[in-house]
Every structure is written in structure tokens, then in C-alpha cells.
Amino acid sequence: VQLQASGGGLVQAGSSLRLSCEASGAPFSRFNMGWFRQAPGKEREFVATISWSAGTTYFADSVKGRFAISRGSAKNPVYLQMNSLKPEDTAVYYCAADSTPYKLLVERSPGAYDYWGQGTLVTVSS
């Protein structure tokens, strides 16, 4: 099972980025998917999550109204569109999957996610 986040980079405040998550080795279309981030010296934190059906989404208060999460194909099961980026959004971003198929409860805790990808660094300059 592999997950790999991509699409990060160095951008100026106010810019946009779209993160992708490439997946293989499991039926990710059946799993709730999430994005998390970890800034230097800080704990990993929840950013956004989307249910397997795409019918439910949750966002951290800090990104609400600026970020959007969407489902994609089996190979790229989740995207994160980040708009109006701020310096405080600087972090390594990770995609993750909750491997319970068709789970109704959409979790926001990192501990609920079983599969984690390599992260992608997002740096926002002021």
C-alpha cells in the first residue's frame, strides 16, 4: 500500500496550490480520505477530510473557506485545493486513508487513519 502526496512548493501569500495524492495497493475509493499537516516544531494537525462517497467533508477552522477537498480516481483518490494561502499554512502536507471500508463516521483525528503517504512541503512566503 502506497500513498504519495505531491503538488507542494514555494509560493507567495495569497497564492493557490493544488495537492494530489497518488495511491496504490488498496481500494482507496472505499475509504474516507484526509489531509493533515505538520509545521516545524509542531504536532501533526488535521486539515480536511472527505468521506468515501464524497458526501461529507470537514475542515479545520483555520482553513475553512480557503481550502477545498475533493475525490478523484482510484489512482488519485483525493485532492486538496488551497487558495488564499497564508504564511501560517507552511507545513509538510500528508494525505491519509481510514482503511475501514464505507465507514459512516468521518474522523478528524490522525490516529483514526491507517495509511499515510510521504508528505509534500508547502512554503508560503509573506
Q: What pLDDT is recorded for position 38?
A: 98
Q: What pLDDT is recorded for position 21?
A: 98
CB 64 within 8 A of CB 96: no
- pLDDT, averaged across the chain: 97
Distance CA 98, CA 115 (A): 7
Report the pLDDT averaged over residues 16-32.
97
Report the pLDDT averaged over residues 105-109.
96
Q: What pLDDT is recorded for position 112?
A: 97
Q: What pLDDT is recorded for position 123?
A: 98
Using DSSP's 3-state secondary structure scheme, residue 124 falls into: strand
Residue range 47-76, pLDDT digits in tens: 999 999 999 999 999 999 999 999 999 899
Q: What pLDDT is recorded for position 13?
A: 98
Q: What does 92-111 look like in DSSP terms, one character per residue? A: EEEEEEE-STT-SS---SGG
Q: What pLDDT is recorded for position 39?
A: 96
H/E run at residue 23: strand 17-24
